[in-house]
Structure 1
Amino acid sequence: MEREFIEWLTATLPASPLLKVGLGDDAAVLNWAAAGGDLVAATDTVTDRVDFHLHEIEPRRAGHKALAVNLSDMAAMAAEPVAALVSLVLPQKGCGQRSARQLAEELFRGMLPLAEEFGCVIAGGDTNLWDGPLAVSVTLLGRVGRAGPLTRSGARRGEAVLVTGACGGSILGRHLDVQPRVREALTLRAEHGATAAIDVSDGLALDASRLAAASGCGVALDVAAIPISPDAGQLAQQTGRTPLQHALGDGEDFELVFTAPIEEAERLVAEQPLDVPVTRIGRCVDAAGLWKVDAGGRLEPLRPTGFLHGQK
């Protein structure tokens, strides 16, 4: 199966001047001098029954998500994706009416449009079979943008906290149809003075608290300003939780929470230069931790709800 699949991949994947040695050898060789800039590396794994339910979706959506979540990590660093290594651990018997090889092909068909959109060559990977569920692991290599990397640790007291898009209710479909904010991040870093960022993978509240901890400051959220996805409202009707609770804690929105100087934040909100809305949702404060601002402007502790790996 593997030889035939590699032959199919070789015929399917587009050529790239960055790729000196590609599929079929023991390792890929990239012309990194042509890529330029510092190397940025990210890796993430998605698994059937954890990140999606393969019997309920088209495999292409699983493939899309596997690459997209890594692209979202690149976005959080304001890095340009260059090349991906994709490893598949396939169920021996395939899935439904699809054989293991057919499943593998469909997964790649879900990745290829996204790779092309962001100029990312799929340089190689690995394929294996077992009796367990599907797992897809992607290692993504990128280069730092011209303004340097964004990290979680660059926020400073007095800066504004902002978010792209809207949050909450991603389980209704957006957790699969991830839209990485790579172009937005590069623009925010180069043209709007963004100082720190994190992508909302585990929950807006939890990820904002992680940014605060890494930066050695606190984050105070104006919860009334948080942009809530219509999906959060729809989900709230089923769960009994509020739309705000879903926006704060659901995760897998893959939007960017970032910080910027106040004047830049005001300009961003006024001009809205990105293809996705930007909302100011808080500020960085001296007091460590996560806070919300009450009606009188006082700070109250806010629990950093979200998804913690290894906990139920």
Structure 2
Amino acid sequence: MKKRSLPSGELGLIEQIQRDFATNSSAVKLGIGDDCAILRPPAGCEVLVTTDFTLEGRHFRRDAHPPESVGHRCLARGLSDLAAMGATPLAAFLSLALPSSMLTKAEGRTWIAKFFSGLRALAELHSVPLAGGDTSESPGGKNALILADIVLIGYAPKGKALRRSGAFPGDALYVTGQLGGAAAELAGMLGRRKRIASVKTTEDHPHMFPEPRLDVAEALLRRGVATACIDISDGLSTDLAHLCRASGVNAEIEQEALPIHPLAARLGAKSALHAALHGGEDYELLFTAPASARMPTSLAGVPLTRIGTLKARRTSQPLMTLLVPDSGPEELKQGGWEHFAKPSRNAKKKAR
């Protein structure tokens, strides 16, 4: 972490991070403590880089989200991007801006400690060393917010990284896990009057503690059958549209095939379908493979579900079509998250 003349307590914060995230990873030749980190990517591999903001009021609310969840989600967002391209994590870098009061008040210091506890637990699970970053006082005085930017460095065999642009007409479309759970859990959280103080287990909390599908991605890369891949962060409808445009194809989705998360199913059929199609933040993988490929029902212990088929691109037809039982095909429009969109197009704008 870079050292600056910032609020009192910053040096102690940096030293604590350095102690808590000490690593003996062979991939990190030099970590926290210098102006730059030095990494050693494996021979014959390409380096992949992704970055994600975690902004208070946009991606989390202090009055709703436990700090462990905020730390977990901060790292999970970047890990999911690496998984979408079949990459193995090499190192993480965190830039963190905090209101000055958080370093001077016991409640604030406790929040920070729990934030790093959540981040560290996921980092240790996937052997991701924190190799550096930056700290700063966030602007705004009494109204200052928490701002975090995570950078993930990964690697994949040269020329083997999965992309959004590799799908072909006739390919089958698959998703991992279940859909709609994150949106359903978020709706329940925002409906409560009090913040969840702590969570005893990270299991079955698809919004608070999403599981990056790194093991599934590794298995897909090893099998060599996936033609394209993207993670579901903005909603199935929006992320599928990205994949279709990048690959120059149309898509047909079978509504009955969608794997609905139990939390979403409790909302009722109509709301559950909306959560699965447009809810976002499931951080599952959406990938394609030749229809002739023998795909197992699960990989790395995670269920795989075939939800549709890709078609040749025709501008006269909808980019995406939803096959509705007893009704027929309907155009599936993008309904997920889109930054800078008008408020009417982002019903979830309160906190994602």
Q: Distance in 1 between matches of 2:333 and 2:35?
A: 48
Counterpart of 1:13?
Answer: 21
Counterpart of 1:63?
Answer: 71
- The partner residue of 1:262 within 271, 291, 298 is 291
Shift of 1:254: 0.5
Q: Distance in 2 between matches of 1:92 and 1:290?
A: 48
Taking the TM superposition and a 5 Å limit, the aligned residue runs for 1:47-62 are 47-62=55-70
Shift of 1:52: 1.4
Listed one character per residue, the Cα deviations across residues 166-211 of structure 1 (whole Å, up to 9, x for unaligned) are 1114131422211000110111122150110111001111111111
Counterpart of 2:162?
Answer: 150
- The partner residue of 1:276 within 274, 293, 302 is 302
Q: Bigger shift: 43-52 or 93-102?
A: 93-102
- The partner residue of 2:33 within 13, 24, 29 is 24
Listed one character per residue, the Cα deviations across residues 200-256 of structure 1 (whole Å, up to 9, x for unaligned) are 00111111111111100111101110111111123x25xx94311111010000001
Unpaired runs of 5+ residues, structure 2, are: 1-8, 186-204, 344-352
Classify the secondary structure of the residue corresponding to 2:70: helix
Taking the TM superposition and a 5 Å limit, the aligned residue runs for 1:291-306 are 291-294=321-324, 299-306=329-336
Taking the TM superposition and a 5 Å limit, the aligned residue runs for 1:156-195 are 156-171=168-183, 172=185, 173-191=205-223, 193-195=225-227
Shift of 1:297: 10
Matched, 1:41 2:54: no
Unpaired runs of 5+ residues, structure 1, are: none
Does the CA-based 8 Å contact 2:216-2:299 persist in structure 1?
Answer: no
Taking the TM superposition and a 5 Å limit, the aligned residue runs for 1:75-90 are 75-90=83-98
Taking the TM superposition and a 5 Å limit, the aligned residue runs for 1:200-239 are 200-234=232-266, 236-237=267-268
- What letter is aligned with 2:38? V
Shift of 1:299: 4.5
Q: Distance in 2 between matches of 1:120 and 1:247?
A: 30
Shift of 1:287: 3.4
- Report sequence identity in percent: 35
Classify the secondary structure of the residue corresponding to 1:82: strand
Listed one character per residue, the Cα deviations across residues 247-306 of structure 1 (whole Å, up to 9, x for unaligned) are 101000000110001122x4323xx34311110000010135111235589653211211
Q: Distance in 2 between matches of 1:14 and 1:100?
A: 23
Classify the secondary structure of the residue corresponding to 2:281: coil
Does the CA-based 8 Å contact 1:147-1:189 persist in structure 2?
Answer: no
Residue correspondences, number? 305
Matched, 1:106 2:114: yes
Q: Let me know the Cα RMSD of the aligned residues.
A: 2.3
Q: Distance in 2 between matches of 1:5 and 1:99?
A: 15
Q: Distance in 2 between matches of 1:116 and 1:175?
A: 20
Shift of 1:26: 1.1
TM-score, structure 1 length as denominator?
0.90
Does the CA-based 8 Å contact 1:164-1:255 persist in structure 2?
Answer: yes
Q: Distance in 2 between matches of 1:168 and 1:249?
A: 8
